[in-house]
Structures are given as structure tokens and as C-alpha cells.
Amino acid sequence: QVHLVESGGGSVQAGGSLRLSCAASGYSWSSICLAWFRQTPGKKREVLATFDSDTGLSAGDSVKGRFTPVRDNIKNTFDLQMDSLKPEDTAMYYCAATASDYGDYDCAWRDEGDFAYWGQGTQVSVSS
């Protein structure tokens, strides 16, 4: 069973930084696609960044320049470095996983429905 554990959320003032980490375990795929999503009440989950163990890292257009995906090979985690945080970044942040070779689209182009495994989420709150 695939197990995802997120950490690093919290409360920060606008302009501050947070680093989220996602640790994945229990999978048997030869290659993995991981993604960071966020969700606010009443809205669809938004993909922020992806990591494919075959093709590498990708950041979504909505957060490029402020959020940076990082593969930490020492900790074996997929991290999301979030800088210049804004109040509108307040959301629940989720890590998700699927096989790298799943479906018709590359990891960087997948959306919520392509991911079968999800972490419990970590809350990020940004105050003005």
C-alpha cells in the first residue's frame, strides 16, 4: 500500500517562506510520479508541482517564481519550497502519487483524477 506523509505546513506572515515535504513509501512501481496540490473550501484541487523519477521536476505556471519543487535525495522526499507567500496561498496542501507510466499524459500534465494515492494534507495559513 502506497503511503504518503506530508510535513512542513504552518502559519506564516505574508512574504514569509515555508518548505513542505512529502515522503512516499510502500509502492512497487519502477518509477513514480508525485505531485503537490492545494485546495481551498469549495474549490477544485490545484496542481502546483510534480516530480517524475524518470523525467524530473516541474512547477505549475500559477506558482512559478515563488514556489520551487525540490527533490531531496538525502531525505528521499519531494519538497515544495514556498517563498514570498501571500494570504491567497492559504489552503490545505496535499501530496499525491501514481505510477510514472500511468495514463496518456506525462507526470507534469496530470490532474487530480490521475492520482490514486493521497496524503492526509498539511495546512498552510498566511496572514496579511
Could you report the per-residue pLDDT of 54-112, keeping only the tens digit for each?
Answer: 999 999 898 889 999 999 999 999 999 999 999 999 999 999 999 988 888 889 999 99
Q: Given a cut of 90, is residue 114 above it in pLDDT?
A: yes
Residues 6+ apart with CB under 8 A from 36: 20, 22, 47, 48, 49, 50, 69, 78, 80, 93, 94, 95, 96
Strand, coil or helix: 88: helix
In whole angstroms, give the CA distance from residue 24 to residue 99.
Answer: 12
Q: Given a cut of 90, is residue 6 above it in pLDDT?
A: yes
Could you report the per-residue pLDDT of 84-93, keeping only the tens digit for each?
Answer: 999 999 999 9
pLDDT over 90 percentage in the chain: 82
